[in-house]
RNA sequence: CGGGGUGUAGCGCAGCCUGGUAGCGCAACUGCUUUGGGAGCAGUGGGUCGGGGGUUCGAAUCCCUCCUCCCCGACCA
């Protein structure tokens, strides 16, 4: 491709409304343009990248025996009413009516459509297991679309659905998809981690998310340094191996005027934060209050807390007014000593001796508090987020926390949709059996943004070879003035094309600096420069996107050199 | 949804407070010069000043209203 015949549309300045780096660079490099909130046009340059992501996914899904199909983006309301999700789904579901006043939605996902297709098409256990997938545009009417492609309303997704007669078969396909996803992400050339995830509202048992690692990621992931354990931070079990020491201090009440936060208290009393505990008050069932006790430096995990008996669902912190009314003091001075409401104590909080806590009286705290002596031995539970350095729940190694962007999710749906839509097959005994389903998604467009978040520098995007829109940039200096340069550039370009190299020749009549900047912004991994000066010495110049310096290459060696670079 | 901000040429912004009919840089177009890290000079084109309503002789500017986009907010103990 020559730039003169391509729509190269770079911006020197960063559009003001782009917040995160991938959004900025995608706009600047001319990959996408915004049409409306959460809606983007993929320009030719961006589409090349998107197609690469797609084709890697397609190849590996095909290798795994999955069958591609394509379902409508617009779906009839009847199907959603049948599954019950027409009611369940909130305003994220974009609903619309046709000219006959029939109701439809723009699909945010395709479980209903695939299950409907399946029940019409597949009749016998002999046809199972089977795994269908599509790469289709989805729409979710997000409250607050932001971060460009990262959280757009319309996005491209690969979604696959497998059908089975039994759990073993489902598990087998699930494991196979796990493998396939690992291959796909390996081929993307991105740093990623599969993590155990909460299957949440979707239901089902096993669930793994695939995260592309990036400092700007929205999700925190805990992973072990010695095993392949990795989990969403909300899901990781917080282990406490620490044994509690014997009481060493007497219980005392101290005045702590205006000391409310844990940091203030620790500072005021000159004690480490890990010797403090905090007592959070949550809403329980029947307007009760429930106390949750954590070590001062730990964070409550609301998902874990919600599962405790007697806690109101959805989880909610109690109203400060109500707390004051019932407990007689303000938040900030609450402690478990003498507390009469149901109390849950986190494992780590339960393992401290001689601790400091609120005295249930404003501006007073207890010091030297000991479990089993000053208050009952607690039933300890896991209600906190894991932190860096915690022991790994699988007993191997310690946890580190990194940030990631969720781009893939696989889970077992079980019979949620197949029973709602009556997707059955005849089994070996000629009896009708409800199928079990698995569901496997990859955010295709999000992969593009995630790749940029993970890999960029001040000059622009740094693509892995597998996703780069072009592999090689040819930058001739004075292409339009020097016949020598034009000849050399055109010859080499033709040669590359013959060999099927994805090459972009910059034949615009620009100054070199402008061309260099554009090629770097776009993130083309390899660059060859032809100049009259070099050619007269039988040389040209090579620079990799991440190389500090360029190197001179003999023209005669150029083809082999480039071959080697591109295949490495 | 609540709070804050914003909207002026393709992009980035000034002008608004203190009303007098719109400007700068980049980009685009033409010409000449220039050609190893986003060139110089000269010239040209491009605006319903987010929409609607109002005040006024006169509104980008003041008032009302609707809309857009962006940011913050669901972990304080």
A91 touches strand B (CB under 7 A): no
Q: What is the pLDDT of residue A117?
A: 96
Q: What is the pLDDT of residue A200?
A: 42
Q: H or E stretch including A558?
A: helix A558-567
Q: Which of residues 143-182 of A touch strand B (CB under 7 A)?
A: 143-147
A479: nt with nearest C1' to CA: B35
CA of A517 to C1' of B45 (A): 28
A70 touches strand B (CB under 7 A): no
CA–CA dist A81, A166 (Å, integer): 27
CA–CA dist A188, A463 (Å, integer): 10
A534 touches strand B (CB under 7 A): yes
A520: nt with nearest C1' to CA: B37
CA of A173 to C1' of B28 (A): 55
Residues 6+ apart with CB under 8 A from A537: none
CA of A511 to C1' of B31 (A): 18
Task: Return the closest-CA partner of residue A404 out of A227, A210, A177, A158.
Answer: A210
3-state secondary structure of A49: helix
Q: H or E stretch including A88?
A: helix A85-88
Q: What is the pLDDT of residue A329?
A: 84
A 10 A CB-CB count for A250 gives 10
CA–CA dist A529, A550 (Å, integer): 10
Please tell me what DSSP assigns to residue A2.
B
A529: nt with nearest C1' to CA: B36
Q: A212-269: per-residue pLDDT in tens? A: 999 888 888 888 889 888 888 877 888 888 889 999 999 999 988 888 788 888 888 9
Q: What is the pTM of this model?
A: 0.87
A35 touches strand B (CB under 7 A): no
B10 C1' closest Cα residue? A11
Tokens of A220: 């925190």
A301 touches strand B (CB under 7 A): yes
A316: nt with nearest C1' to CA: B74
A 10 A CB-CB count for A546 gives 9
CB A399 within 8 A of CB A236: yes
A451 touches strand B (CB under 7 A): no
Task: Return the closest-CA partner of residue A38 out of A138, A151, A135.
Answer: A151
A261 touches strand B (CB under 7 A): yes
CA of A15 to C1' of B61 (A): 26
Task: Return the closest-CA partner of residue A326 out of A366, A393, A281, A285.
Answer: A281
CA of A502 to C1' of B28 (A): 30
3-state secondary structure of A37: coil
CA–CA dist A251, A337 (Å, integer): 11
A385: nt with nearest C1' to CA: B75
Q: What is the ipTM of this complex?
A: 0.89
Burial of A165 per CB tally in 10 Å (0-12, 13-18, 19+): buried
A329 touches strand B (CB under 7 A): no
CA of A483 to C1' of B25 (A): 36
Tokens of A47: 């589409």
Q: What is the pLDDT of residue A204?
A: 45
A439 to A81, A132, A206, A413, A416: CA distances (angstroms) = 20, 10, 11, 7, 12
- State phi, psi for A384 to the nearest 5 degrees: -120, 165
A264: nt with nearest C1' to CA: B77
- Helices A44-63 + A444-454 axis angle, to 10: 110
Please report, for chain A, how many H helices and E strands are present, in that order: 16, 30
3-state secondary structure of A246: coil
**Across-strand partners of A547?**
none
A260: nt with nearest C1' to CA: B77
CA of A479 to C1' of B34 (A): 14
Instruction: Tell me: cis bond preceding A129? Omega within 30 of 0 counts.
Output: yes
State the greatest distance between any 2 C-alpha atoms of chain A, in Å, as a whole number: 93
A385 touches strand B (CB under 7 A): yes
CB A289 within 8 A of CB A331: no
CA of A13 to C1' of B43 (A): 26
CA–CA dist A395, A224 (Å, integer): 9
Residues 6+ apart with CB under 8 A from A510: none
List, as one string, the DSSP characters of A157-213: EEEEEEEESSHHHHHHHHHHHHHHHHHHHHHHT--EEEEE---GGG--S-EEEEEEE
B35 C1' closest Cα residue? A511
CA–CA dist A271, A384 (Å, integer): 22
CA of A146 to C1' of B54 (A): 36
**Across-strand partners of A402?**
A221
Tokens of A334: 């609450």
SS (H, E, C) A482-547: CHHHHHHHHHHHHHHHHCCCCEEECCCCCCHHHHHHHHHHHCCCEEEEECHHHHHCCEEEEEECCC
CA of A15 to C1' of B15 (A): 21
Tokens of A96: 């619309």
CA of A492 to C1' of B44 (A): 39
Q: H or E stretch including A320?
A: helix A320-327
CA–CA dist A128, A118 (Å, integer): 11
Q: Which residue carries 């492609």 as its tokens?
A: A149
A28: nt with nearest C1' to CA: B11
Q: A195-217: per-residue pLDDT in tens? A: 887 544 444 457 889 999 998 88
CA–CA dist A552, A542 (Å, integer): 6
Q: H or E stretch including A154?
A: strand A154-164
Angle at A497 between CA A49 and CA A29, to 5 degrees: 30
Angle at A171 between CA A108 and CA A72, to 5 degrees: 25
A8 touches strand B (CB under 7 A): no
Q: What is the mean pLDDT of each run of 10 residues along chain A (568 residues)?
A: 92 87 93 87 94 98 97 94 89 88 93 96 96 95 84 93 95 96 97 76 66 88 88 84 89 86 86 90 82 90 83 78 82 86 91 91 90 88 89 89 91 92 95 95 95 94 97 96 95 97 95 95 97 95 96 96 94
3-state secondary structure of A90: coil
Q: What is the pLDDT of residue A205?
A: 57
Strand B bases with any atom < 7 A from protein Cβ? 1, 11-13, 25-27, 34-39, 68-77
A518: nt with nearest C1' to CA: B38
Q: Which residue carries 């806590």 as its tokens?
A: A357
CA–CA dist A54, A65 (Å, integer): 16
Burial of A343 per CB tally in 10 Å (0-12, 13-18, 19+): middle
3-state secondary structure of A277: strand
Tokens of A10: 């770079």
A320 touches strand B (CB under 7 A): yes
Q: What is the pLDDT of residue A198?
A: 58
A262: nt with nearest C1' to CA: B77
């Amino acid at each position: 491709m020559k730039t003169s015949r391509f729509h190269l549309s770079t911006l020197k300045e960063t559009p003001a409304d782009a917040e995160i780096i991938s959004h900025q660079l995608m706009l600047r490099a001319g990959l996408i343009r915004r049409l409306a909130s959460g809606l983007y046009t993929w320009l030719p340059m961006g589409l090349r990248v998107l197609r690469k992501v797609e084709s890697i996914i397609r190849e590996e899904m095909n290798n795994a025996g999955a069958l591609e199909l394509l379902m409508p983006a617009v779906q009839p309301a009847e199907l959603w009413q049948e599954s019950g999700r027409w009611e369940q789904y909130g305003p994220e579901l974009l609903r619309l009516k046709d000219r006959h006043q029939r109701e439809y939605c723009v699909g945010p996902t395709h479980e209903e459509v695939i299950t409907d297709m399946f029940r019409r098409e597949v009749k016998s256990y002999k046809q199972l297991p089977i795994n269908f997938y599509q790469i289709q545009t989805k729409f979710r009417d997000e409250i607050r679309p932001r971060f460009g492609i990262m959280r757009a309303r319309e996005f491209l997704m690969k979604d696959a659905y497998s059908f089975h007669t039994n759990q073993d078969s489902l598990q087998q396909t699930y494991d196979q998809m796990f493998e396939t996803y690992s291959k796909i992400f390996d081929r993307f050339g991105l740093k990623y981690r599969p993590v155990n995830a909460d299957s949440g509202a979707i239901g089902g048992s096993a669930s793994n998310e695939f995260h592309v690692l990036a400092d700007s990621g929205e999700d925190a992931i805990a992973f072990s340094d010695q095993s392949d354990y990795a989990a969403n931070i909300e899901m990781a079990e917080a282990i406490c191996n620490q044994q509690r020491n014997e009481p060493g201090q007497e219980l005392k009440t101290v005045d702590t005027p205006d000391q409310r936060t844990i940091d203030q208290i620790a500072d005021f009393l000159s004690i480490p934060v890990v010797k403090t505990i905090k007592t959070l008050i949550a809403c329980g069932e029947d307007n009760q209050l429930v106390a949750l006790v954590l070590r001062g430096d730990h964070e409550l995990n609301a998902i874990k807390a919600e599962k405790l008996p007697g806690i109101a669902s959805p989880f909610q912190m109690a109203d400060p007014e109500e707390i004051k009314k019932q407990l007689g003091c303000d938040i900030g001075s609450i402690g478990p000593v003498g507390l009469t409401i149901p109390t849950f104590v986190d494992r780590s909080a339960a393992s401290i001796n001689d601790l400091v806590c609120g005295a249930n009286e404003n501006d007073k705290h207890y010091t030297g508090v000991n479990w089993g002596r000053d208050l009952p031995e607690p039933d300890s539970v896991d209600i906190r987020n894991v932190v860096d350095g915690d022991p790994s729940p699988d007993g191997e190694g310690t946890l580190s926390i990194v940030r990631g962007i969720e781009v893939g999710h696989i889970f077992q749906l079980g019979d949620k949709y197949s029973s709602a839509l009556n997707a059955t097959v005849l089994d070996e005994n000629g009896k009708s059996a409800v199928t079990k389903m698995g569901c496997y998604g990859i955010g295709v467009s999000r992969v593009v943004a995630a790749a940029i978040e993970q890999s960029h520098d001040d000059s622009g995007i740094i693509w892995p070879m597998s996703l780069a829109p072009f592999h090689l940039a040819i930058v001739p200096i004075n292409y339009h003035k020097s016949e020598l340069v034009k000849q050399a550039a055109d010859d080499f370009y033709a040669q590359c094309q013959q060999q099927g190299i994805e090459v972009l020749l910059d034949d615009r009549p620009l100054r070199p600096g402008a061309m260099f900047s554009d090629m770097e912004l776009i993130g083309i991994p390899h660059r060859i420069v032809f100049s009259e000066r070099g050619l007269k010495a039988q040389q040209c110049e090579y620079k990799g996107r991440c190389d500090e310096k360029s190197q001179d290459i003999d023209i005669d060696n150029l083809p082999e050199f480039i071959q080697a670079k591109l295949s490495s």
